[in-house]
Amino acid sequence: MPFQPDDVPYIPEERLCEEKEGKMYLILAPELPNCISVNAEAKTVMDLCDGAKTIREITEELSRNLGEDPEENLSDMVNFFNYLESKKFAFKEPIKREFLPREPDNLEQLWLNITNKCNLKCRHCHSFFGSPLKNELTTEEITDLIKEASHFKECTLIISGGEPFCRDDIVEIVEAASHYFGERISVITNGTLINDEKAHILADSHVKVQISLEGPDEESNDTIRGKGVFTKAVTALRRLKRLGVDVIVRMTLLKTNKHKMRETIEFVKKEGIAPVSFELLKMGGRSLDSLEDINPTTDELIQTYRQIKELDPDSSYIGFDESLKPGVTRMVKRDLCSAGHRMLSVGADGGVYPCAGLMYPEFLAGNIREKPLEEIWKESPVLKKIRRLSVSQIPECKDCPIRYMCGGGCLVDIFWEHKTLYRKTPRCAFMRAMKWDELKASRYKKKSWG
């Protein structure tokens, strides 16, 4: 029911206001989270809301200060609060947004790392992939796991490694995945081992394939991935594209390729591949040996991110991983990343972890050789502890005005920087700049009150 003159409007008590040119204001409510842009008069009205005054009383006070007739302004005032309500910025009851430990959401992503074996030694690898583990899951164990995981109806299966095509039974694994998951499958690969036979299997299985490239040419890619890799990966891209496979290029933003954004997007357009998915460097593993050479500074990341957005403002040819995803959803809190409450990762030996970047002993939630996946998902003490985490518990984050829009960042980065999860992300300055850019762009380009 719409607001009436004698209703008391409640708006967020905690508000941050930033003045914009033309006397427009960006009003941010961190706890909801939400934001709205209004003119000076509308801001004055919002400042009069104290959780006690009715709309009629607010109108009378404002009109008295302006020397105007309250009755002439009352209808406009009611309309204004109905506008605020439509934008989830005014409510008929006091606002309560207490933190509660998160129950496990629907499992949306299951990363299945089928081998630690890899034919490359990429400098930015978040692990030490190379040789296979001695006790990797058998074909039968992987097939049984895929069947069990298919009971999570909204789940996407991501087959990864290592390099998944290093396994001799990769065709059987992909076919089993296709049987149980349909088209909800992605295979992440470096592309160097995809021959015609395997390309046809991927096409027949209707899987999405993500091929990693670190630039649009040999110079930028092979510096990170090794000599000759670019040519082999592009050959695989074109082979798959000809067969109608849905292909995505994955690219990590590095110091060595930050100047290649324009060329990369042009390359993707030319090849008829969309999108190219940009992601941040994940700390850990082999990447720690090269951080000084490959990890961009905060200023470099900000500049590169803004350049990407300018090159493709409508995101026709670009995408972003979770930590880089733009935009703000009204009334939806981003509270740390999806590790452990929308995502799981199964290692090549059957170990279950919150995500592919936290596959370390302190984050082992169980093993599928010992317990069913669903039991681990629901009952693991490690996962329950992860789900109790909140950005509101991090000392450096709890009072930040955009804490629930940023979400606190990636747990992998936090852990490797601080060896605990209760600290701010080392990418804080970048995340803040990125989110403020998105807030201002999305709110000021839309029609606002005033």
Residue 74's alpha-carbon distances to 80, 237, 254, in angstroms, are 10, 63, 57
Size of the chain, expressed as the number of residues it contains: 450
Closest CA to 236 of 267, 273, 195: 195
Q: For 94-128, write each residue's pLDDT tens digit.
A: 887 554 455 666 899 999 999 999 999 999 998 88
pLDDT reported for residue 97: 59
Rounded Cα–Cα distance for residues 345 and 356 (Å): 5
85-99, 152-166, 279-293, 308-322: segment of lowest average pLDDT: 308-322
pLDDT category of residue 447 using cuts at 50, 70 and 90: very low
Q: For 148-161, write each residue's pLDDT tens digit.
A: 999 998 899 999 99
pLDDT reported for residue 448: 46
Average the pLDDT over 243-249 and give the result. 94
pLDDT reported for residue 323: 60
- Model pTM score: 0.83
Q: For 367-387, write each residue's pLDDT tens digit.
A: 999 999 999 999 999 999 999
76-90, 101-115, 209-223: segment of lowest average pLDDT: 101-115
39-43, 98-102, 330-334, 406-410: segment of lowest average pLDDT: 98-102
- In this model, does residue 444 exceed pLDDT 80? no
pLDDT reported for residue 82: 95
- In this model, does residue 359 exceed pLDDT 70? yes
Structure tokens at 282: 């994940």
pLDDT reported for residue 31: 81
pLDDT category of residue 439 using cuts at 50, 70 and 90: confident
H/E stretch holding 442 reads helix 428-444
Q: Which CATH number fits domain 16-97: 1.10.10.1150, 3.30.420.40, 2.60.40.1730, 1.10.357.10?
A: 1.10.10.1150
Cβ of 285: how many Cβ atoms within 10 Å?
17
The answer to whether 27 touches 37, Cβ cutoff 8 Å, is yes
Q: For 419-432, write each residue's pLDDT tens digit.
A: 999 999 999 999 88
Rounded Cα–Cα distance for residues 213 and 225 (Å): 8
The answer to whether 38 touches 25, Cβ cutoff 8 Å, is yes
pLDDT reported for residue 290: 86
Residue 379's alpha-carbon distances to 321, 365, 388, in angstroms, are 28, 9, 14
Q: For 330-339, write each residue's pLDDT tens digit.
A: 556 678 888 9
SS3 299: helix
The answer to whether 199 touches 239, Cβ cutoff 8 Å, is yes
Q: What is the percent of the chain with per-residue pLDDT over 70, rounded to a whole number? A: 90
pLDDT reported for residue 21: 58
Query: In which order are the strands placed within the sheet that holds 366-367?
Result: 318-320, 276-280, 246-253, 208-212, 185-189, 156-160, 109-113, 343-346, 351-353, 366-367
pLDDT reported for residue 325: 58
pLDDT reported for residue 329: 56
User: Tokens 């992440």 sit at which residue?
Assistant: 188
**Position 360, amino acid:** Y
Q: Where do the structural domains in the chain lie, given as residue ranges?
A: 16-97, 109-381, 389-443
CATH number, span 109-381: 3.20.20.70
